[in-house]
Structure 1
Amino acid sequence: MRLNLANIDSLPAWVRRPGYVPSEQACGIVHLGLGAFHRAHQAVYTDAAMNAGERDWRIIGVSLRSPETREKLRPQDGLYTVSIKSDAAHDIRVIGSIADVLVAPENPQAVIDALAAPATQIATLTVTEKGYYQAANGDGLDQNAPAIANDRHGRSPSTIYGYLAAALAIRRQNSSGGLTVLSCDNMAHNGQKLARSFLDFLDDINPGLADWTRQNCTFPSSMVDRIVPATTGDDRAGLRELIGCEDEGAVFTEPFSQWVVEDCFNGPRPGWEEQGAELVGDVAPYETAKLRMLNGAHSALAYLGLSRGLNLVSEAIADPQIGPLVGRLMRDEAATSFNPAPNQDLSGYADQLEARFANPALPHRLIQIAMDGSQKIPQRWLATLKARQDAGRDSPAILQALASWIQHANGLANAVDDPMRDQLARLWQTAGQDSIAAALFGKKGLFADHWTASDTALAQLTGHVRNSRC
């Protein structure tokens, strides 16, 4: 039996289900880039808002490439389950907020029509960073990308910019009003980057529409956080035994969920803040906290844990040496390296992170986190080191974690993927153990533009490198 509206009442009583009739609710949101993360995150907040009594906020999902998600959800009337993985009792919820799934390459006009519909108030996006076609220097749109060139010349759209431009042209012509275009991708300053690139695109093809968009549309930034691993066949089989029916669209996730949204909407919106989202004036402090506390702690767990022969995040946070050090990194160093928002509870955030790390039901492999370390440590560690050093403070926990990364880089060519692995391996060969820290973080070091270590910090880091286990 396949999950759908006809048999939803046959589910066990403990399975939570929509408190509204999905088929009676109109659509107010179009989501570009429908995948597992959206189904476990923004669609859940929207479902909760309608459970609380709000109406007509169902979502038309758009797959920009594959029909796979449509084939999972259409036979189920858009219904699917979200299962929380933890040591607690089973927590399974049926989500009714997705009304339909369009496959953009099969019918581009249907996507344009959905975005242009007068009832549509919000377009949300999870298209990954590459879907924004940023210029190599991060400054605006890559106008030379083939897909952008295709859309710029008026051919059938293939990018978010082509679809949005075509839809906004119709809305302008029909006096339907603008849209809130809300990026939910894991990318700092995502709303600003989206607005900059989209307006670059419009300025080139239709300056009049560009001016109208500036006056009638908004592009809030947002910060999203929830672990949503890929659903496996075993996951679906276990779910089928629990609820007595097949759910091809099932997603599995952790108890924690965070959504911080810049409160600059063009028109109506669901009351997401009543369901746990945070509507704020500035998302930047929350992005910084995530980078320096969550991501910084993750990297520390990875390199320190691997140096002790551990495999999982839950194992590393339970280690009697690593766990307390990571706690100090988050609370004493990262959390004091920037100015938080007025109501931002960084101590509570650290508590939540430690609970997430300790969850054994979502095995997170350290070797995956350790990948591409040279690209991650500037934002995760070096920004904190610089801010605290400029304020006359030391950062002993990060220095110890950084030493583990340096030792990890010693075997990088044969150990883990990193775009700088060969350069780092050569630097180790020429500098040796006693000078590698200076070669990386000294006045002329490889990462000196991000953080130039003081003499004291350099001596401490060199000592940690000598003593660290690898």
Structure 2
Amino acid sequence: MNRLNDHTVGALPAAVTRPAYDRRALNTGIVHLGIGAFMRAHMAAATEAAIAAGDLRWGIVGVSLRQPDTRDALQPQDGLYTLAIRDADAQGRPRQRLQVIGAVRALLVAPENPAGVLEAIAAADTRIVSLTVTEKGYCHDPATGALRLDHPDIANDLAHPQAPRSAIGMLVFGLQLRLERGHGPLTLMSLDNLPANGRVLRGAVLRFAEAVDPALAQRIAADCRFPCSMVDRIVPRTTDADRAAVSEALGCEDRWPVLGEPFFDWAVEDDFAAGRPDWTLGGVRFVADAEPFERLKLRMVNGTHSSLAYLGAMAGWQTVDKAIAQAPLREHIEALMRDEIEPTLADLPGLDLAAYRANLLARYANPALAHRTQQIAMDGSQKLPQRLLGTVRDRLAAGLPVPRMALGIAAWMHYLRGVDELGNAYAIDDPHAADLTALYQRTLGQGASIEAVQAMLSYAPVFGDLAGNQALAAALLSALRSLQTHGVRATLDAVNRGELGA
């Protein structure tokens, strides 16, 4: 079978959308750090729409921060890859539509060529540097949002400015080189699931720049822009079966297609230093303030996604659609949104929360995605502060109960034991895995008690000022005792009857 590339793309089946513009005329306007599946199914797709409309300034240089696998798969394909949008028809039969994305012009692997990454950021045509590096990629304290200068990657970068390892180091040293050459300011844009992600990025960049040169920090602060944004599309990990199915449909081999649901959302503050694509052509909303949209998404989508993932993973429900098909879990997730999360959200003109909730449950039930609960369960120490604990703080401050929020946190703690209810062992994939699993074994591993729960709450990188909170500890103890004694399904039945956290 031939390989997908610039020479074979014209011979694809007529039903496959492909670039109609001259890719040879495409300039690089965007450097993206963290060219994973989500970015290729989200931001790159919106950028493709702007390019297809005739604005050829916005080609993308994609940077892999750790591994060469994306570069190795896509470089022989001239950067082309397939986006497979999957859902099911009215009879529940999976279906897909395919689009070949041409926006990626070049790919770099940072550990192999750090100087090349800095040169890309410094290039005169570059106008935007965007990031999807996950929560842990900001090398910050999740509880406070502050850059950790003692983080191993940050310490390395300050000592080795020619070969930075962190996204923050690459940004600052790339900007330093750019400003030295007089190429003007950039927009630095986070697409990660962090509250006020643009402000978190700005704080990290300026703190690092101050450690390098206070004058550099002042120039970046004055000239660069850091818009906040909210991104939303479910993008599961591509499997070998997905590669085979997409390649068969194309009639040529695509080594790294990406999958996505039909739903797409992106709200971004319209604050750019050197122009931007017309992403509205791809479904983007430009807003004055992204915070209400961020809060909506982090709490309703990400918060329930994580709660569902830990409960599902512990029960042996391997994918999101299979988990949400369990009636007690669906009842819990819907009530979690309606009764505990929605009252903490600001009003958004035109938003029907009941319809949003129903749509989200339908998205979770999409059988065509097979989004694995273990994938969502990764990096819990980085995700919980952003996805769950903000809602918890707001409810506790108002004197409101948190039985369903506490069940999600308790499920994460329970997950740290490393074996599900069917006896299947799994690795804890988390930057704090060693500390957390050791803490679990010393405390909850000996059985749920108020002392054990308080010890877990004292883990400052996750819980911060929630340490010692008696109301939260009591709700967690109730949920943990039930999970450890009766299991996930019986615990869901109990919370749905109002018997937990009372």
1:146 CA displacement? 4.6
Provide the rounded CA distance (Å) in 2 between the counterparts of 1:228 and 1:410: 23
| Aligned 1:330-345 pairs, distance under 5 A | 330-342=337-349, 344-345=351-352
Which range moves more in the overlay, 204-213 or 371-380? 371-380
Change (3 A) 1:118 1:345: farther
- How far did 1:335 drift? 1.3
Q: Which segment is superposed worse, 151-160 or 231-240?
A: 151-160
Please say if residues 440 and 446 of structure 1, whose CA atoms lie closer than 8 Å, have aligned partners that are also in contact: no
Counterpart-to-counterpart distance in 2, 1:373 and 1:117: 36
Separation in 2, partners of 1:446, 1:152: 27
CA pair 87-165 structure 1, distance change in 2 beyond 3 A: same
Cα displacement (A) at 1:98:
0.5
Whole-angstrom distance in 1 between the partners of 2:326 and 2:20: 43
Aligned residue for 1:68?
Answer: 69
One-letter identity of the residue aligned with 1:294: V
- Deviation track 1:119-173 (CA, whole Å, cap 9, x = no partner) reads 1110111223333222586453333345434433454222334433343234323
Contact 2:304 2:333 (8 Å CA) reproduced? yes
Post-superposition offset of 1:188: 2.9
The more displaced of 224-233 and 16-25 is: 224-233
- For residue 115 of structure 1, give the secondary structure of its aligned residue in structure 2: helix
Q: Tell me the residue number matched to 1:422.
A: 441
Q: How much is the aligned-residue C-alpha RMSD, in angstroms?
A: 3.8
Alpha-carbon deviation of 1:393? 5.5
SS in 2 for 1:124: strand
Partner of 2:55: 54
CA contact (8 A) 1:385 1:395 kept: yes
Match of 1:248 among 255, 268, 286: 255
Structure 1, 144-153 or 264-273: larger mean CA deviation: 144-153
SS of 1:84's partner is strand
- Going from structure 1 to structure 2, the CA distance change for 1:33 and 1:370 (only over 3 Å counts) comes to closer
Contact kept, 8 Å, 2:176 with 2:216, in 1: the verdict is yes
- Partner in structure 1 of residue 219 of structure 2: 212
Partner of residue 278 from structure 1, selected from 277, 282, 285 = 285
Cα distance in structure 1, aligned partners of 2:52 and 2:142: 43
Q: Which has the larger radius of gyration?
A: 1
State the AA in 2 paired with 1:75: P
One-letter amino acid of the structure 1 residue matched with residue 246 of structure 2: L
Q: Which runs of 5+ in 2 are unaligned?
A: 90-94, 421-425, 429-435, 458-462, 492-502
Q: In the alignment, what sits opposite 1:453?
A: 471
5+ long unaligned stretches in structure 1: none
Aligned partner of residue 263 in structure 2, secondary structure: coil
Distance 1:436 1:181, change over 3 A: closer
In 2, distance between residues paired with 1:379 and 1:250? 29
Alpha-carbon shift at residue 245 of structure 1 (Å): 0.3
Partner of 1:322: 329
Provide the rounded CA distance (Å) in 2 between the counterparts of 1:411 and 1:129. Answer: 19
The structure-2 alpha-carbon separation of the partners of 1:136 and 1:76, relative to structure 1 and needing over 3 Å to count, comes to closer
Report the Cα distance in structure 1 between the residues aligned to 2:37 and 2:416, rounded to whole angstroms. Answer: 35
What letter matches 2:345 in structure 1? F
User: Is 1:15 matched with 2:16?
Assistant: yes
Q: In structure 2, how many angstroms separate the alpha carbons of the residues matched to 1:340 and 1:427?
A: 44
Contact kept in structure 1, 2:26 and 2:56, CA below 8 Å:
yes
Q: Contact 1:411–1:425 at 8 Å: present in 2 too?
A: no
Q: How does 1:238-387 map to 2 (within 5 A)?
A: 238-302=245-309, 310-342=317-349, 344-366=351-373, 380=387, 383-384=390-391, 387=394
Displacement of 1:7 in angstroms is 1.7
Comparing 127-136 with 322-331, greater Cα deviation is found at: 127-136
Checking the alignment, whether the CA contact within 8 Å between 2:410 and 2:476 is kept in structure 1 is: no
Q: Distance in 2 between matches of 1:61 and 1:91?
A: 24
Distance 1:166 1:446 in 2: 31
Matches within 5 A, 1:157-176: 157-159=163-165, 160-176=167-183
Identical amino acids, percent of aligned pairs? 42
Count residues in correspondence.
462
8 Å contact 1:410–1:424 — kept in the other structure? no
How far 1:410 moved relative to its partner? Answer: 10
- 1:381, distance to aligned residue in structure 2 (A): 5.0
**Which stretch has the larger CA shift, 92-101 or 255-264?**
255-264
8 Å contact from structure 2 (residues 409, 476) kept in 1 = no
Q: Per-residue deviation at 1:18? A: 1.8
Which of residues 90, 96, 100 in structure 1 aligns to 2:102? 96
CA–CA distance in structure 2, aligned partners of residues 65 and 55 of structure 1: 29
Cα offsets for 1:40-89 (capped at 9, x unmatched): 11111100111233331111112233333222222222111111222243
Query: Which residues of 2 match residues 132-151 of structure 1 at below 5 A?
Result: 132-134=138-140, 138=144, 140-151=146-157
8 A contact 1:85–1:362 mirrored in 2: yes
C-alpha distance in 2, partners of 1:196/1:353? 32
Shift of 1:91: 0.5
After superposition, the Cα gap between the structure-2 partners of 1:455 and 1:38, relative to the gap in structure 1 and judged at 3 Å, is: closer
Q: 1 CA distance for matches of 2:105 and 2:42?
A: 16
Seen in structure 2, the aligned counterparts of structure 1 residues 384 and 148 have a Cα distance that, compared at 3 Å, is closer
Q: Residues 255, 451 of structure 1: CA spacing in aligned structure 2 closer, same or farther, 3 A cutoff?
A: farther
Residue by residue over 1:192-224, the C-alpha shift from the partner in whole angstroms, topping out at 9 and shown as x without a partner, is 222112212222222222221111101122232
Contact 1:129 1:187 (C-alpha < 8 Å) held by counterparts: yes
Distance 1:157 1:190, change over 3 A: farther
Q: Note if contact 1:437-1:461 (Cα within 8 Å) is conserved in structure 2.
A: no
Per-residue displacement from partner, 1:269-321 (whole Å, max 9, x unpaired)? 01113321222233332232233222333355456657877544323323344
Which residue identity is paired with 1:128? T
Change (3 A) 1:462 1:206: closer
| Structure 2 CA distance for aligned equivalents of residues 455 and 144 of structure 1 | 31
Normalising by structure 2, we get a TM-score of 0.78
Q: Does the CA contact (< 8 Å) of 1:403 and 1:464 recur in 2? A: no
* Aligned equivalent of 1:85: 86
Shift of 1:93: 0.3
